[in-house]
Amino acid sequence: MRFKCRVEVSLKPGLSDPEGETTKNALINLGYRVGKVRVSKVYELVLEAQSLGEAKKLTEEICNRLLANPTKDDYRFEVRKL
């Protein structure tokens, strides 16, 4: 079975996000009253697995092994059957 996984990797709260700060300043310069910007990265992957449970387990493994660095990143994901 094939599953579509959408993984979002973001910086842990409390860790400064220079990319977000720079984007916030650009938005303020454009005249928007923006208080805070945090940047995340989204990965969409198609995965082969036996069940939804296995697909979720594999996605979690993928996050821990490559997509996120547990020192600075949090991640969350959604998995759906294709």
Partner 1 sequence: MKRENVKVCVVRAGGTNCDLETEVAFESLGVKVDLLRTQKLLERGLADYHIVVFPGGFSYGDYVRAGAIWAKLMQSKLLPEISRYVEDGRLLLGICNGFQVLVEMGVLPAFHGLSMYPEAALATNLNARYECRWVYLRVENPKTPFTSLLEEGKVIRIPVGHGEGRFVLPKDREKEYLKKLLRNRQIVLRYAKSDGRPAETIYPFNPNGSVYDIAGICNPQGNVFGLMPHPERAFFWWQLPDWTRMESPPKHGDGWFILESAVSYVCENF
Q: Which residues bind partner 1 (CB under 8 A)?
A: 11-12, 14-19, 21-22, 64-67, 69-72
DSSP string, 8-57: EEEEPTTS--HHHHHHHHHHHHTT--------EEEEEEEEE-SSHHHHHH
| Least gap, CB of 45 to partner 1 (angstroms) | 12
Distance (Å, whole) CA 40 – CA 17: 10
Comparing CB distances to partner 1, the nearer of 1 and 19 is 19
Comparing CB distances to partner 1, the nearer of 71 and 82 is 71
Comparing CB distances to partner 1, the nearer of 46 and 82 is 46
